Amino acid sequence: MIKSIIHYAHHLMKEAVNQGDTVIDATCGNGHDTLFLSRLVGENGHVFGFDIQEQAIANTRYRLDQNNRKNTTIVKDSHSNFIHHIPVDKLTRLGGAIFNLGYLPGSNKTVITKSETTILAIEGILSHLKQNGIIVLVVYYGHDGGVQEREQLMRYVQLLDQKLYHVLYYGFINQKNDPPFILAIQKKD
């Protein structure tokens, strides 16, 4: 069966990430991906979640507390600054990262992700990502600034060296109203 965007994003993470890995939720939002990743890496793994909005941090912490998840560190900062918050011993086990680009559902739609900071984060994560590790970007672009972000990200990922990375595009082409799509970058052996 064809998987929905979120289900396929999680499927990709399950395929690449192992128990004990370090992973990044680059946009905590309401904490759904953070919780998923916390379960995925298990008690010996660790999730570092980032968001610039206090509401997203609070929502994520609440969701994690409700599910008794302790293997997480939630940081109110841009994902482009991840390197300042993750200890070196955790970076050596970096198995993957997930981004949900756009805005926090149910909040101020003018606070959006920007391609400049997202690309900085991707570049930094790629330099620390283990072999066969993955970055999954769920690109929501049906808002002001979204089309520009989509175009800049597409240009960036198309230029990644095919000898070093697999880059996947996954999306539904018969849906209306700017349906989200996935860009996934896997580091080759």
HEC profile of 107-131: CCCCCECCHHHHHHHHHHHHHHCCC
Q: Which domains does the chain have, with CATH numbers?
A: 5-187 (3.40.50.150)
Instruction: Tell me the pLDDT band of 140, cut-offs 50, 70 and 90.
Output: very high
CB contact at 8 A, 184 and 132: no
Q: Is 55 left (phi over 0), alpha (psi -120 to 50) or beta?
A: alpha
Burial class, 152, CB count within 10 angstroms (exposed 0-12 / middle 13-18 / buried 19+): middle
Over residues 40-72, the pLDDT tens digits come to: 999 999 999 999 999 999 999 999 999 999 999
Instruction: Please tell me the predicted confidence (pLDDT) of residue 35.
Output: 98
For the cut 90, the answer to whether the pLDDT of residue 107 exceeds it is no
Cα separation, 74 vs 124, in Å, equals 19
Report the percent of the chain where pLDDT is more than 70. Answer: 100
CB 186 within 8 A of CB 165: yes
Helix-, strand-, coil-residue percentages of the chain, each rounded to 5:
40, 25, 40
